[in-house]
Structure 1
């Protein structure tokens, strides 16, 4: 009976330990959420553009309140962890003290009854306590393995996450003539978690080797159209074909190599200018310089202290240079040209510029791309005059398609409305 009581007490103690470890694991999950939120705010604080808004709109109180909320959240979790540890420590101490007391009482009674000699009391108590301690350590190790397995499982689950996209296996044919035929066939799409279609029943054949302008008001589905073309998303309905084959069947990485894209929200990194253009550690310096010259960046490059080895921004190097928005756009355009893909896409990278400056950049870029296929996406129409075909998007559908001259003949059409509402911003050479 005595041994059973000791075993029961030890097992109960280990159950308490397991329960405490489980609560600690749950608390760490809460800390992860608070860490994610705090990192978001730290990124905003260290961002120069965000800092301008904080100062100009006196948003310090707003951010202070947010940080106070996060701090209180952290403290509440840590307080809960501390309370759980105190409860477990107190319970563990009480049970251990009780079991030790029972050992001494049991051995003492045995000695009083003459079952063991006085000299053997320390030997028996020491042996029993050592047995209890060894059993406790063994069970603690087992509980520890079980607990650590929870943390390890999180890591393994992360490693085993597979992309939802089917990446395909068919190699993309390498064509010297760049004759890649692309077709959208009854494509519809809505973003995950949304019930509203962003694109609905879109069908269009893209003529390779020509200039296509994709125009429409903000929110008409232009950028989503490009995201589907580049397989950043897959359509919910319909299919997109490359040379008659569904693009999902092609090797994903090879398919992406067909495109050079400059998005409106493009990003440059705190690497050297050359690495930003080439997107690689190793690159052809001559090509980088030539590409930067083509986009009109030569004068700025000549004034950089270390040439194309000059770091952008000062995040990691005090000798880094700060660049203007217009300069950043030229670097982004150079990056697209350096990739030398057969299809080049400009997705409103000049949206922050005035219409005349935008037209000048599009005109210059149109000369540079040569015989490559080029898609120009904009809610303004500065690129339309030198495009072979124009697709007008409205509320997720293509409502008009044709050349600039053809679309202007339809005075009731959306393109006519858009063009004449903006023509006042273009110079005489651009106006209708």
Structure 2
């Protein structure tokens, strides 16, 4: 937070910030220009109409001035009314999130709560229930499992099964309505939340990368270890990208605040987001669809090196591509907010159930695609 605030403070006082303000001023100036032009065109029409009627002796010369002034006053009042109405609606929309924020329950300050552990042996969900505010249906219902130290866990299931909700509960972005989430037997709600977050590296589906220098994007700090970042990107298969484009860690991502920024694809941005989570050296790595935007070759490369990437870390990831689950120590299968199966890939395929149903449907699609390619 301090890094971002300092960056933008420096930006607005720099020459780049001045240029941005100039561009913004030009764009905002277009609105009154259009309004003035429309108003003048309307005035010309009114004058022409009044003079025409006076020339035809339908009204007197004195009434021309009265009519013109009256119509102009009426138009100006309408324009002002519309403008004020628009401002009221705009301010109301801006105020809505602030009002919602004020209505939220106040959380504990950072000084309160137990010190988060430097290490842990297991994370446990103990009969956890959760539903979103205003909803009657449980998003998660009676979910219980244990994630052990350095274990790789996959969450699978159809859309809406509760996978993303579960990892956000682990991250304490939500708190359970019932049940307890524990680390080594201690309720996670007793830990200092800020310190707890420092132990987690996460990449969500809706992640975003700020248009800052690449080294700062990965480290989220002013100072960073370039050698460490380069090693992480190399593990993610981006060493060729770095050398081919001549990318350096002091170049900005995107061109928002730089003329020589790096334009990156969706797959490249996803790899950088994964690198950001790995660089944090967190105890727990959480990846929500970590390879959704990657091509099959890049995806296979990441999963091939996943043991090294997640070395000395516990890892939870969501994937709809079930062949990636083969590398996991345990797989949780969710259906309509309930944990219906858990086990290894081989164990789950031995029995008829949701996992085998999902696996068979994907195998069928892959087989059909290959058959069509041969034809």
Q: Give the TM bin, normalised by the shorter chain.
A: 0.5 to 0.7
Find 1:312's aligned residue among 249, 253, 266: 253
Instruction: Give the match for residue 228 of structure 2.
Output: 287
Find 1:200's aligned residue among 141, 165, 170: 141
Rounded Cα–Cα distance in structure 2 between residues aligned with 1:197 and 1:341? 30
Find 2:269's aligned residue among 320, 328, 332: 328
Instruction: Give the match for residue 152 of structure 2.
Output: 211
1:220 lines up with 2:155 in the alignment: no
Residues 190 and 80 of structure 1, relative CA distance in 2, 3 Å threshold: closer
Deviation at 1:245, TM superposition (A): 1.1
Equivalent pairs counted in the alignment come to 280
Find 1:172's aligned residue among 104, 116, 119: 116
The 3-state SS of whatever aligns with 1:318 is coil
CA deviation vs aligned residue, 1:173-204 (integer Å, no higher than 9, x gap): 223xxx33211111111112222211111111
Residues 290 and 413 of structure 1, relative CA distance in 2, 3 Å threshold: same
Deviation at 1:162, TM superposition (A): 7.4
Find 2:217's aligned residue among 254, 276, 289: 276
Deviation at 1:397, TM superposition (A): 0.6
Q: CA RMSD in A?
A: 3.0
- Larger CA deviation: 295-304 vs 321-330: 295-304
Deviation at 1:78, TM superposition (A): 2.2
Instruction: Give the match for residue 78 of structure 1.
Output: 84
Retained in 2: the 8 A contact 1:363–1:383? no
Retained in 2: the 8 A contact 1:189–1:236? yes
Find 2:285's aligned residue among 339, 344, 355: 344
The 3-state SS of whatever aligns with 2:312 is coil
Instruction: Give the match for residue 263 of structure 1.
Output: 204
Find 1:252's aligned residue among 193, 214, 224: 193
Structure number with greater CO (CA < 8 Å, separation at least 6) is: 2
Rounded Cα–Cα distance in structure 1 between residues aligned with 2:170 and 2:80? 44
Instruction: Give the match for residue 86 of structure 1.
Output: none
Deviation at 1:288, TM superposition (A): 1.6
Retained in 2: the 8 A contact 1:261–1:344? yes
Rounded Cα–Cα distance in structure 2 between residues aligned with 1:163 and 1:364? 43
Retained in 1: the 8 A contact 2:127–2:179? yes
Instruction: Give the match for residue 420 of structure 1.
Output: 360
Residues 398 and 354 of structure 1, relative CA distance in 2, 3 Å threshold: farther
Instruction: Give the match for residue 190 of structure 1.
Output: 131
Rounded Cα–Cα distance in structure 2 between residues aligned with 1:226 and 1:236? 15
- Larger CA deviation: 186-195 vs 396-405: 186-195
- Larger CA deviation: 252-261 vs 281-290: 281-290
Normalized against structure 2, the TM-score is what?
A: 0.68
Rounded Cα–Cα distance in structure 1 between residues aligned with 2:346 and 2:122? 25
The 3-state SS of whatever aligns with 2:305 is helix
Instruction: Give the match for residue 106 of structure 1.
Output: none
Deviation at 1:308, TM superposition (A): 0.8
Residues 173 and 421 of structure 1, relative CA distance in 2, 3 Å threshold: same
Please, which runs of 5 or more residues in structure 1 have no aligned partner? 1-45, 47-71, 82-155, 428-432
Rounded Cα–Cα distance in structure 2 between residues aligned with 1:404 and 1:73? 67
Retained in 2: the 8 A contact 1:301–1:308? no
Rounded Cα–Cα distance in structure 1 between residues aligned with 2:363 and 2:355? 12
Retained in 2: the 8 A contact 1:264–1:350? no
The 3-state SS of whatever aligns with 1:382 is helix
Normalized against structure 1, the TM-score is what?
A: 0.59
Deviation at 1:293, TM superposition (A): 1.6
Deviation at 1:370, TM superposition (A): 1.7
Please, which runs of 5 or more residues in structure 2 have no aligned partner? 1-26, 28-77, 88-97, 368-375
Instruction: Give the match for residue 302 of structure 2.
Output: 361
Deviation at 1:287, TM superposition (A): 1.4
Residues 424 and 305 of structure 1, relative CA distance in 2, 3 Å threshold: same
The 3-state SS of whatever aligns with 1:312 is coil
